[in-house]
Every structure is written in structure tokens, then in C-alpha cells.
Structure 1
Amino acid sequence: MGAMEWLEASTENCTVQRTLDVVGEKWTLLILRDAANGVSRFDDFRRHIGLSEAVLSDRLRKLTAAGILRTVPYQEPGSRSRNEYRLTRKGWDLWPVLIALRQWGETYAADPEGPVLDIHHSACGAPVRVVVECAEDRAALTPRDVTARPGPGAHRRS
């Protein structure tokens, strides 16, 4: 698709835009990163990410409402009941996005000392990476290998 053709399409129902409406904010992505690494309690998110209680409450509420996190009650002895936050299937489906962001960061924004988190395939020990592939022959693709054209949901810009 040429730039002109794309510019003529309305982006009101764009899936990238809709996804960013839900998860496209820095703190939200950091909450998802921590949740994918086993963090589940409010105070642990707050301490580890370093954000205010109000912002954390707001993001956790939005992620729960979107079905990305679910709450699980727990109670420490002598304390009131609280909620843990766990990724749902919908939340885990964002894991490749987090891995892709990490992969880009390791290439272009890496710490000279190396990665904070070392992610390897449990079975063989090889590093993990995200690849865009053809759904049919599973071949890895670059942008040059792909044709983009207006889909059935495309509408002309008004």
C-alpha cells in the first residue's frame, strides 16, 4: 500500500490505535512486564516500578476492566483481605509484545553491563527472540516481504 492510499484511510477503527488505548502507556507496560515476571501484589508493583498509589490503582483498574489482569483474593494472617493481580490469557497474549520491546531495547538502548533479565529457552538454553513469520510456511519476514493493503474494516477518511 502506498503512503497516499494509507493517508486516505480512516484510522478511527485501527487495531494498533485500539491496542494503544489499552496498553500504550509507559506505566501500564511496566506493570505488564512485572506481572509476566511473577509480581502480583499492589505494594510489590508500587515499590518495584516506583509509581504513585493513585496511578497504580488507576492502571490496575483499567487492566482488570479490559480483561488483561484478573484479581485473586488473598489474606495475610492478621490483615484484611486484599487482591493479587494475575495475567489472564488475554494478558499473556501481550507477552510477545514485551519480548519485542525488550529485543529492540537490547539492540538500541542496552546497558553496557548487559541485560537486567536474561531470557532463554528452558529446554536448550538458547536466547529467545520475536520473529514476524508467514502463517503458512513459517518463514521469517522483513517489511520488504510483506504487502499491506486496505482490509475489510478500512473506511475512507471523511
Structure 2
Amino acid sequence: MQSERGTAGSADSRVITPVGNFVDRDDWATEGMRCSIERALEMVGTRSAMILLRETFLGIRRFDELTQRTGLSDAIAAKRLKALVEDGLLVQRPYREPGARTRHEYVLTDRGRSVFPIMVALMTWGDGLGEGSGLVDLFHADCGEPVESVLRCAAGHEVSLSETHARQKEKS
């Protein structure tokens, strides 16, 4: 895979290559279809959603700890957590401290855990923005090497942007 890194100001002609009926996007049959990126961003496309998910990936589950670690107001955190539960990324699990009322903690679901590669990619991208590396290093528990987000095809080949083609999906 050739390197495709650039700086913020560099222009580059390497993009995804449209093929098939994707070439003339004005002629698409899109009735009943939605962009997957738009659907995903409706669930996790806010700063508050992503930093709440970051904290749940790091094992934080309780509302007061989530607001403390994220700096979000109670109202914003409650609204976003409710949406993350409704979208199936988190579930509420009741718990009760002795002498206190029942409260809920927030636990990642399989759908929530599937966001992990996106979090790793976003963290890696953020580390490279030139403002120093982040606060956390992720590494493989078995060998100690850094965790990376790598784009591969289903056959296992690493794929760069310019090696990627796009076609319209068939309606299912």
C-alpha cells in the first residue's frame, strides 16, 4: 500500500473511483435508500455522543462518573445517553448502593462495541493533527504492540484511498 498522507493544506487527486452505475450519480435509483454514513452520524455524530462512548469503552458506567469525566452538563449527558440507549449502543443496567435508591449504569451492547474500530481510527487521526499525541496509548494485551485501525478488503489486502472503487449497492 502506498503512503497517502498529506498535510492540511495539500491538495491530492487520490480519491475513491466510481464504477458502474455509480459513475453518473445523477441517474441513481435511490428511492428507499439512505446513506450509511448519514445513518451512523445520526447515532454518534455529536461530540457528546463520542466522548460518552469513549468513557464507556474505558469502563466508566455510572452517570455521575460519565458527567465528571466528560465535562458534560447533566442535561446534555442525560439526553445523549437516552439517545444512545434508544439507538441500541448502550443498555441501562440497574444497580443499588446500600441505603440508596436504585440507579442505572450504562453498558456497551454489541452494536456499541462495533464502534470500537471507529474510535481507534478517530483517536489515531486526532493524534496526528500536530498538537502532540493524545493522552492514551492503546496496545495489544498479548504482545504489547500499538493497536491500529487498518482498512482491508474482505480478502485481507490493505487498501488505500486510490485503490478503492465504489458502486451503487443493489436494492435488497
TM-score range, shorter chain: 0.7 to 0.9
Q: Tell me the distance in 2 between the aligned counterparts of 1:110 and 1:8.
A: 43
From 94, 100, 111, the counterpart of 1:79: 100
Give the Cα separation in 1 of the matches to 2:76 and 2:70. Answer: 11
- Evaluate the alpha carbon distance shift between residue 92 and residue 109 of structure 1 in structure 2; reply closer, same or farther with a 3 A threshold: farther
Q: 1:135 to 1:4 in 2, by over 3 A?
A: closer
Corresponding residue for 2:151? Answer: 132
Q: 1:115: Cα distance to partner?
A: 2.7
Amino acid at match of 2:46: E
2:7 equivalent in structure 1:
none
**Percentage identity across paired residues of the two chains:** 32
Instruction: Identify the residue that residue 101 of structure 1 maps to in structure 2.
Output: 122
Which structure 1 residue ranges, 5 or more long, are not aligned? 154-158
Gaps of 5+ in 2: 1-17
Q: For 2:110, which of 86, 89, 113 is the aligned residue?
A: 89
Q: Which amino acid aligns with 2:122?
A: L
**Equivalent residues of 2:67, 2:73 under 8 A apart:** yes
Q: How many residue pairs were aligned?
A: 151
CA distance in 1, matches of 2:110, 2:122: 20
1:13 corresponds to which of 27, 31, 34: 34
Q: CA 1:109 to 1:7, structure 2 compared with 1: closer, same or farther past 3 Å? A: farther
Shift of 1:30: 0.5
Query: For 1:134 and 1:106, how far apart are their aligned partners in 2?
Result: 25
Give the conservation status (yes or no) of the 8 Å contact 2:126–2:134.
no
Give the 3 Å change call, closer, same or farther, for CA 25–128 of structure 1 in structure 2.
Answer: same
Name the SS of the counterpart of 2:24 in structure 1. helix
> SS in structure 2 opposite 1:108?
coil
Cα distance in 2, alignment partners of residues 109 and 50 from structure 1: 24
Tell me which amino acid in the other structure corresponds to 1:139.
Answer: H
Matches within 5 A, 1:26-45: 26-45=47-66
Amino acid at match of 1:151: K
SS of corresponding position for 1:139: coil
Calculate the aligned-residue CA RMSD, in Å: 2.0
Residue 84 of structure 1: SS of its match in structure 2? strand
- Considering fraction of residues, name the structure with more helix: 1
- In the TM superposition, residue 95 of structure 1 has moved relative to its aligned partner by 0.5
Which residue identity does 1:74 align to in structure 2? Y
Give 4+ residue runs of structure 1 displaced > 6 Å after superposition.
none
Q: Which amino acid in structure 1 is aligned with residue 160 of structure 2? A: T
Amino acid of the residue matched to residue 146 of structure 2? P
